[in-house]
Protein backbone atom coordinates (compact mmCIF):
# COMPACT_ATOMS: atom_id res chain seq x y z
CA UNK A 1 0.00 0.00 0.00
CA UNK A 2 2.84 2.51 0.56
CA UNK A 3 3.45 2.58 -3.23
CA UNK A 4 -0.19 3.47 -3.99
CA UNK A 5 -0.01 6.00 -1.18
CA UNK A 6 3.03 7.64 -2.71
CA UNK A 7 1.49 7.60 -6.21
CA UNK A 8 -1.76 9.12 -4.92
CA UNK A 9 0.31 11.66 -3.01
CA UNK A 10 2.09 12.68 -6.21
CA UNK A 11 -1.31 13.17 -7.89
CA UNK A 12 -2.44 15.38 -5.00
CA UNK A 13 0.83 17.31 -5.31
CA UNK A 14 0.37 17.76 -9.07
CA UNK A 15 -3.20 19.02 -8.47
CA UNK A 16 -1.95 21.54 -5.90
CA UNK A 17 0.88 22.55 -8.25
CA UNK A 18 -1.62 23.32 -11.04
CA UNK A 19 -3.56 25.56 -8.64
CA UNK A 20 -0.37 27.35 -7.59
CA UNK A 21 1.52 27.76 -10.85
CA UNK A 22 -1.41 28.18 -13.27
CA UNK A 23 -4.03 29.89 -11.13
CA UNK A 24 -1.97 31.39 -8.32
CA UNK A 25 -4.02 29.99 -5.46
CA UNK A 26 -3.48 27.56 -2.58
CA UNK A 27 -5.25 24.21 -3.03
CA UNK A 28 -6.70 24.29 0.48
CA UNK A 29 -9.96 22.36 0.50
CA UNK A 30 -11.48 23.99 3.60
CA UNK A 31 -10.80 27.51 2.31
CA UNK A 32 -12.03 26.77 -1.21
CA UNK A 33 -15.17 25.07 0.14
CA UNK A 34 -15.92 28.10 2.32
CA UNK A 35 -15.44 30.37 -0.72
CA UNK A 36 -17.71 28.15 -2.81
CA UNK A 37 -20.49 28.48 -0.22
CA UNK A 38 -19.89 32.23 0.28
CA UNK A 39 -18.84 31.65 3.91
CA UNK A 40 -15.95 34.12 3.65
CA UNK A 41 -15.86 37.94 3.75
CA UNK A 42 -15.85 38.02 -0.08
CA UNK A 43 -19.50 37.71 -1.16
CA UNK A 44 -19.06 37.34 -4.94
CA UNK A 45 -19.48 33.92 -6.54
CA UNK A 46 -16.10 32.26 -6.86
CA UNK A 47 -16.07 30.16 -10.01
CA UNK A 48 -12.47 28.95 -9.50
CA UNK A 49 -13.15 27.65 -5.98
CA UNK A 50 -16.44 26.08 -7.07
CA UNK A 51 -14.81 24.26 -10.02
CA UNK A 52 -12.11 22.81 -7.77
CA UNK A 53 -14.63 21.65 -5.15
CA UNK A 54 -16.87 20.00 -7.78
CA UNK A 55 -13.78 18.35 -9.28
CA UNK A 56 -13.01 16.38 -6.09
CA UNK A 57 -16.05 14.01 -6.15
CA UNK A 58 -15.80 13.89 -9.95
CA UNK A 59 -12.17 12.73 -9.70
CA UNK A 60 -13.09 10.18 -7.05
CA UNK A 61 -15.78 8.83 -9.36
CA UNK A 62 -13.36 8.59 -12.31
CA UNK A 63 -10.70 6.87 -10.19
CA UNK A 64 -13.24 4.27 -9.08
CA UNK A 65 -14.38 3.79 -12.67
CA UNK A 66 -10.83 3.08 -13.88
CA UNK A 67 -9.30 1.38 -10.82
CA UNK A 68 -12.37 -0.38 -9.43
CA UNK A 69 -14.39 0.34 -6.28
CA UNK A 70 -12.43 1.12 -3.13
CA UNK A 71 -12.97 0.18 0.50
CA UNK A 72 -14.16 2.95 2.71
CA UNK A 73 -15.13 2.29 6.31
CA UNK A 74 -16.99 5.21 7.85
CA UNK A 75 -17.93 5.51 11.51
CA UNK A 76 -21.32 3.87 11.92
CA UNK A 77 -22.73 6.30 14.46
CA UNK A 78 -24.75 9.28 13.29
CA UNK A 79 -23.67 11.32 16.34
CA UNK A 80 -19.97 10.61 15.65
CA UNK A 81 -20.29 11.89 12.09
CA UNK A 82 -22.13 15.04 13.23
CA UNK A 83 -19.74 15.91 16.07
CA UNK A 84 -16.63 15.23 13.99
CA UNK A 85 -18.02 17.22 11.05
CA UNK A 86 -18.83 20.25 13.20
CA UNK A 87 -15.34 20.24 14.77
CA UNK A 88 -13.55 19.77 11.43
CA UNK A 89 -15.56 22.56 9.79
CA UNK A 90 -15.20 25.05 12.63
CA UNK A 91 -11.57 24.20 13.44
CA UNK A 92 -10.34 24.34 9.85
CA UNK A 93 -11.78 27.85 9.42
CA UNK A 94 -10.50 29.16 12.77
CA UNK A 95 -7.07 27.65 12.07
CA UNK A 96 -7.08 28.94 8.45
CA UNK A 97 -6.57 25.53 6.88
CA UNK A 98 -6.77 21.77 6.95
CA UNK A 99 -4.65 18.83 5.87
CA UNK A 100 -4.33 20.09 2.28
CA UNK A 101 -3.72 23.80 2.90
CA UNK A 102 -1.39 23.50 5.89
CA UNK A 103 -0.20 19.91 5.49
CA UNK A 104 0.56 19.84 1.76
CA UNK A 105 0.82 23.44 0.49
CA UNK A 106 2.11 25.13 3.66
CA UNK A 107 4.69 22.54 4.72
CA UNK A 108 6.24 22.53 1.24
CA UNK A 109 6.42 26.35 1.39
CA UNK A 110 8.33 25.98 4.69
CA UNK A 111 5.70 28.13 6.41
CA UNK A 112 6.14 28.25 10.18
CA UNK A 113 2.38 28.71 10.68
CA UNK A 114 1.61 25.61 8.60
CA UNK A 115 4.32 23.58 10.30
CA UNK A 116 2.87 24.54 13.70
CA UNK A 117 -0.71 23.82 12.62
CA UNK A 118 0.26 20.44 11.13
CA UNK A 119 2.16 19.37 14.25
CA UNK A 120 -0.77 20.45 16.44
CA UNK A 121 -3.55 18.74 14.49
CA UNK A 122 -1.49 15.57 13.96
CA UNK A 123 -0.66 15.19 17.64
CA UNK A 124 -4.15 16.18 18.84
CA UNK A 125 -5.71 13.68 16.39
CA UNK A 126 -3.34 10.94 17.59
CA UNK A 127 -4.21 11.74 21.20
CA UNK A 128 -7.93 11.72 20.35
CA UNK A 129 -7.68 8.26 18.76
CA UNK A 130 -5.71 6.95 21.75
CA UNK A 131 -8.16 8.39 24.30
CA UNK A 132 -11.19 7.03 22.42
CA UNK A 133 -9.61 3.61 22.15
CA UNK A 134 -8.55 3.28 25.76
CA UNK A 135 -11.69 4.77 27.26
CA UNK A 136 -13.68 2.20 25.31
CA UNK A 137 -15.45 4.86 23.25
CA UNK A 138 -16.04 2.93 20.07
CA UNK A 139 -17.19 4.61 16.88
Partner 1 sequence: MNGPAFLSLISGIVFGAGLVVSGMADPKRVRDFLDITGAFDPTLAFVMGGAVTVMAIAWRVQNRMSSPLATEKFDLPKISPVDRRLILGASIFGIGWGIAGLCPGPALAGLVIVPDKAIIFVTAMVIGMGLYRFIDTRFSENNARKEMR
Binding to partner 1 (CB under 8 A): which residues in 25-54? 25-27, 29-30, 33-34, 37, 39-40, 47-54
Binding of partner 1 at residue 61 (CB under 8 A)?
A: yes
Q: Is 122 in the site for partner 1 (CB under 8 A)?
A: yes
CA atoms of 92 and 113, how far apart (whole Å): 13
**Which of 43, 63, 135, 136: binder of partner 1 (CB under 8 A)?**
63
The count of chain residues that interact with partner 1, using the rule CB under 8 A, is 109
The candidate with the shortest Cα–Cα distance to 35, out of 24, 22, 45, is: 45
Degrees, nearest 5: CA angle 107-108-109? 90
User: Shortest gap between Cβ of 15 and partner 1 (angstroms)?
Assistant: 4
Binding residue for partner 1 (CB under 8 A) from 43, 44, 45, 73? 73
d(CA 43, CA 26): 19
Q: Does 17 bind partner 1 (CB under 8 A)?
A: yes
Smallest separation (angstroms) from partner 1 to the CB of 39? 5
The C-alpha atoms of residue 74 and residue 97 are separated, in whole angstroms, by 23
Using CB under 8 A as the binding rule, whether residue 4 contacts partner 1 is answered as yes
CA-derived radius of gyration, the chain: 17
Amino acid sequence: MPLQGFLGGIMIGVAAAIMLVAIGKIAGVSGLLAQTLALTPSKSFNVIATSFILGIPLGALLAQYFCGPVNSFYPSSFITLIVAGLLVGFGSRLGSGCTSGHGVCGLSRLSLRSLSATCVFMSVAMATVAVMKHSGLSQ
